C-alpha cells in the first residue's frame, strides 16, 4: 500500500497514529506531496483526490481512498479486529458521532482560522484555500472562537469518561489529539480551565503508538519555507 | 428507539430512507422538533446534541446518537447484516469516502447557500445559523458554486458505475439523493448536461425504500410558516 502525505501536517499525523496503533507502518510506502508548493491542488493530484487533500491511501489493486475517516475504516478493519472504529453497533455509532463532531467543531474550525485569518501555508496555497474576499478575516476569527468552544465541549466530555468516545481509546481521540496539535501550530491556546482535556492530552501523548510514531515533525525544508 | 426529527428536512429524510431500507420504521417512535421555531438551538435540545442538529437517535438505554453517518452505522449494523455501510474493509472505506465527500461538497454546500444567501429557515433561525456579517451573502453564493461543482463531480462518477460508491446502493447514494432534494428546495438546479446524475436520480427515486418511505414532505404548518 502507498500513502501520499507530508510529515507533520494534521491529517497525515492522524493516519500515522492509526498505522502505529495497528502495527502497519512497515507495510506502507510513503510518497511525499509538496503541500507548501500546493502540489495537492494541481491536476495530477486532483485526479487521485478531487477534494485536493492529503492523505490518500492507494491499495495494491489501485483503489484510491481519501478522507481520513475512510482510510481509518480500511486500516482498522484490515485484520478483522477493529480496535479504533468499534465492534458493536453502539460502539460504531458513538465513535463515528464523536469523530464527526471532532472534525466539524475542532479540526475543521482550526483549519478555517489557520487558512482565513493567518497567512496559512503561504503564498502558493492562498489562492486555493482562502481567496481574497471582504469577509475573509472575520470568517477566520469566527472559526477560532468555534475551535475554542469545541475545546470546552471536549473538556466536559472528558470530565465524565477517560476517552472521547467512552471507556476505550478510538479514532475520535486521535482526531481530537491531532486537532489540538494543529491548534498549537495555528496559535490557538487551550483554555486554562480545560483541565480534563489537558490531562487527557498528556495521557494520550504518552501512549506508545503516539509517542513513537514516525512523521510527527515537519520536514526541514517545510520549516525553512514557513520561516521557522 | 426514539428519533427526534422533522419530516421533509434533509438529514431526517436521509435517516428515514435508511430506516425504510432496513425495514426498521415500525421500531421507531418519532418525536417532532420545531425546526422553524429554532427548538433545536435551545438548551433542552442542546443537552441532547450540542451541535444543535437533527436527527438524534435515542437508544432504549438512553444513549443519544447524533450525526447522520453515526446513526446510519448503528441502524445498518443492528441486525448483523450491514447493507448500506459495507462489509469488507475496502467497501467500508469507499462508502465512507463517498459519504464524507457528499457531505462536505454537496449537502454542506447547499446548506451554506440556503442559510447564508437566502432567507433560509426564516427569522427565528437566522441569528443561530447565519449572523449578520459583511461577507455573508458572498460566502453563501460561493457555497452555491461549490454545490454545482459537486453535482458535476458526482455526474462523472455515475458515468462509470451504477451507484455513488460502486456497484451497490449505499448510504452515500442516500446522502447525494437527499442533497439533490435539498438543492431543489434551495433553488439550485442540476446542470442540464449532468445526464448520468439525472438518470441515477430517477432510478433511486423508484427504489421501494425511497418511493414508499414516510416523512418525505414538510408538515402543513411548516409549509405555512415558509409561506408556501
pLDDT digits (tens, 9 = 90+) for B62-113: 999 999 999 999 999 999 999 999 999 999 999 999 999 999 999 999 999 9
What pLDDT is stored for residue B135 in this prediction? Answer: 80
What pLDDT is stored for residue B2 in this prediction? Answer: 98
Q: What is the CA radius of gyration of chain B?
A: 17
Closest CA to B7 of B225, B228, B214: B214
Question: What confidence category does residue A190 fall into, taking pLDDT thresholds of 50, 70 and 90?
Answer: very high
Q: Is A24 exposed, middle or buried (0-12, 13-18, 19+ CB in 10 A)?
A: middle
What pLDDT is stored for residue A8 in this prediction? Answer: 93
Of all residues in chain B, the percent with pLDDT exceeding 70 is: 98
CB contact under 8 A, B78 and A89: yes
- Across residues A210-227, what is the average pLDDT? 86
Question: What confidence category does residue A123 fall into, taking pLDDT thresholds of 50, 70 and 90?
Answer: confident
- Across residues B16-36, what is the average pLDDT? 95
A34-B96-A114 Cα angle (round to 5): 40
Question: What confidence category does residue B41 fall into, taking pLDDT thresholds of 50, 70 and 90?
Answer: very high
- Across residues A61-78, what is the average pLDDT? 98
Question: What confidence category does residue B130 fall into, taking pLDDT thresholds of 50, 70 and 90?
Answer: low
Please state, rounded to an integer, the average pLDDT across all residues of chain B: 94
By CA distance, what is A47's nearest residue in B? B153
Q: Which residue has the cell 480500511?
A: A74
What pLDDT is stored for residue A131 in this prediction? Answer: 67
Chain B interface residues (partner A, CB cutoff 8 A): 50-51, 57, 59, 63, 65-67, 69-71, 73-75, 77-78, 86, 88-90, 92-97, 100-101, 104-105, 133-136, 138-139, 153
CB contact under 8 A, A73 and B51: no
CB contact under 8 A, B93 and A104: no
Where is average pLDDT lowest: A47-61, A208-222, B154-168? A208-222
What pLDDT is stored for residue A122 in this prediction? Answer: 84
Contacts (Cβ under 8 Å, ≥6 apart) of A78 = A22, A24, B89
Of all residues in chain A, the percent with pLDDT exceeding 70 is: 98
What pLDDT is stored for residue B136 in this prediction? Answer: 84
B92-A62-B176 Cα angle (round to 5): 45
What pLDDT is stored for residue B214 in this prediction? Answer: 85
CB contact under 8 A, A139 and B136: no
State how far residue A221 is from chain B, nearest Cα, in angstroms: 31
Find chain B residues with C-beta within 8 A of A88's C-beta: 77
Q: Give the predicted TM-score (pTM) of the model.
A: 0.96
What pLDDT is stored for residue B127 in this prediction? Answer: 80
Largest CA distance in chain A: 50
8 A C-beta contact, residue B55 and residue B71: yes
What pLDDT is stored for residue B227 in this prediction? Answer: 73
Find chain B residues with C-beta within 8 A of A51's C-beta: 101, 104-105
Pairing of β A29-32 and β A2-5? parallel
What pLDDT is stored for residue B29 in this prediction? Answer: 98
Where is average pLDDT lowest: A63-77, A103-117, B29-43, B123-137? B123-137
CB contact under 8 A, A96 and B67: yes
- Across residues B198-206, what is the average pLDDT? 97
Asked if pLDDT for residue A181 goes beyond 80, the answer is: yes
Q: Residue B72, Cα to own-chain centre: how many angstroms? A: 11
Find chain A residues with C-beta within 8 A of B56's C-beta: none
By CA distance, what is A152's nearest residue in B? B50
- Across residues A17-32, what is the average pLDDT? 96
CB contact under 8 A, B134 and A136: no
Question: What confidence category does residue A101 fall into, taking pLDDT thresholds of 50, 70 and 90?
Answer: very high
Peptide bond into B118 cis (omega under 30): no
What pLDDT is stored for residue B131 in this prediction? Answer: 67
Please state, rounded to an integer, the average pLDDT across all residues of chain A: 94
Find chain A residues with C-beta within 8 A of B57's C-beta: 93
d(CA B28, CA B48): 17
In a mutagenesis test of the A interface, which of B27, B47, B74, B108 is the best target, namely the one with the most A β-carbons within 10 Å? B74
**Cα torsion through A120, A126, A129, A131, rounded to 10:** 120
d(CA B162, CA A128): 32
Asked if pLDDT for residue A214 goes beyond 90, the answer is: no
Find chain A residues with C-beta within 8 A of B66's C-beta: 97
CB contact under 8 A, A69 and B96: yes
Contacts (Cβ under 8 Å, ≥6 apart) of B220 = none
- The model's pLDDT over A124-169, given as tens digits with 9 standing for 90+, comes to 888 787 667 778 888 899 999 999 999 999 999 999 999 999 999 9
Chain A interface residues (partner B, CB cutoff 8 A): 50-51, 57, 59, 63, 65-67, 69-71, 73-75, 77-78, 86, 88-90, 92-97, 100-101, 104-105, 133-136, 138-139, 153
CB contact under 8 A, B100 and A136: no
What pLDDT is stored for residue A109 in this prediction? Answer: 97
Q: Where are the alpha helices (DSSP H) in B66-207?
A: 68-77, 89-101, 108-117, 126-129, 136-160, 171-186, 195-205
d(CA A44, CA A62): 15
Amino acid at each position: 500500500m502507498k500513502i501520499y502525505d507530508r510529515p507533520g501536517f494534521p491529517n497525515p499525523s492522524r493516519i500515522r497514529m492509526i498505522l502505529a496503533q495497528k502495527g502497519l507502518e512497515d507495510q506502507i510506502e510513503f510518497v511525499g506531496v509538496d503541500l507548501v508548493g500546493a502540489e495537492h491542488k494541481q491536476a495530477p493530484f486532483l485526479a487521485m483526490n478531487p477534494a485536493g487533500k492529503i492523505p490518500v491511501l492507494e491499495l495494491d489493486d489501485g483503489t484510491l481512498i481519501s478522507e481520513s475517516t475512510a482510510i481509518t475504516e480500511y486500516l482498522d478493519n484490515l485484520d478483522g479486529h477493529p480496535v479504533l472504529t468499534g465492534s458493536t453497533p453502539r460502539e460504531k455509532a458513538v465513535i463515528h458521532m464523536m469523530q464527526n463532531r471532532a472534525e466539524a467543531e475542532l479540526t475543521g474550525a482550526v483549519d478555517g482560522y489557520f487558512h482565513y485569518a493567518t497567512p496559512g501555508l503561504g503564498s502558493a496555497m492562498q489562492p486555493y484555500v482562502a481567496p481574497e474576499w471582504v469577509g475573509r478575516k472575520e470568517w477566520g476569527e469566527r472559526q477560532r472562537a468555534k475551535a475554542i468552544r469545541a475545546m470546552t465541549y471536549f473538556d466536559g466530555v472528558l470530565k465524565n469518561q477517560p476517552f472521547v468516545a467512552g471507556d476505550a481509546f478510538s479514532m475520535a481521540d486521535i482526531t481530537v489529539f491531532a486537532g489540538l496539535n494543529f491548534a498549537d501550530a495555528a496559535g490557538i491556546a487551550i483554555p486554562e480551565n480545560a483541565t480534563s482535556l489537558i490531562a487527557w492530552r498528556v495521557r494520550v501523548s504518552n501512549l506508545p503508538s503516539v509517542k513513537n510514531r514516525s512523521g510527527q515533525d515537519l520536514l526541514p525544508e517545510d520549516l525553512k519555507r514557513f520561516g521557522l
